[in-house]
Amino acid sequence: YTPLRRAAIDLIGRGFTVWEPYIDMSKVLLGLLEISCDSSRLLPSFTYKLPLTPQADACRTARHALRLIATARPAAFITTMAREVARYNTLQQNSQALSVPLTQSVLHRAKKEILQCVEMLIEKMQADMSTLLVEVTDITLHCLDMADLKNRPLNEVCPSICKFNQVSHCSSTRRISGKSFKLNMTCLKVIN
The tens digit of pLDDT for each residue in 121-178 reads: 999 998 888 888 889 888 988 888 877 777 777 777 778 877 777 776 666 665 666 5
Is the distance from CB of 133 to CB of 178 less than 8 angstroms? yes
Sheet of 185-190, strands arranged across = 167-170, 175-180, 185-190
pLDDT of residue 176: 66
- Please provide the distance, in angstroms rounded to a whole number, between the alpha carbons at the two ends of the chain: 40
Q: Would the pLDDT of 44 be above 70?
A: no
Whether omega for the bond prior to residue 54 falls within 30 degrees of 0, making it cis, is: no
For a pLDDT cut of 70, what percent of the chain falls above it? 77
Between 46 and 71, residue with greater pLDDT:
71
- pLDDT(93) > 60: yes
Q: What is the mean pLDDT of residues 180-189?
A: 44
In terms of Cα–Cα distance, which of 37, 32, 42, 46 is closest to 110? 37
State the pLDDT at residue 188.
45
DSSP 51: P
State pTM to two decimals.
Answer: 0.80
**Whole-number average pLDDT of the chain:** 80
Contacts 24+ apart (CB under 8 A), 109-112: 109/37, 109/38, 110/33, 110/34, 110/36, 110/37, 111/142, 111/143, 112/39, 112/40, 112/143
